[in-house]
Amino acid sequence: MTTVKLTEKENYITDIALDDLKLVEAEYSEEEQVAGMGSRRKLPLEDNIGAFFKEMARYPLLTAEEEIVLANDVKLLLQVEKARQKLIEERQEQ
């Protein structure tokens, strides 16, 4: 096996043969080995993400036209809020 320091070659990874790579052994508990790899338990985060996407699938997506209308409405509301803040500041200065 060839050992190459990172500073010796710029493209050191391309110089290493696949045979030189070490295999990593993974250890599993007996329950995991009996259950098999496909039936592993989900992490709480995965359950939350799955629940989120399940909930999102209940609502239809917007059409292109609906997105444009919504974007224009949001833009108008932002302009109104900016004007309101400006009026509040002007009143405070008086």
Statement: the pTM of the whole predicted model exceeds 0.85:
no
pLDDT at residue 45, as a whole number:
72
32 class by beta-carbon count within 10 Å (0-12 exposed, 13-18 middle, 19+ buried): middle
Where the chain has pLDDT below 70, the residues are 1-40
Beta-carbon-side half-sphere exposure of residue 13 (alpha carbons within 13 Å): 0
pLDDT at residue 72, as a whole number:
98
Closest listed residue to residue 41, CA positions, set 30, 56, 31, 26: 31
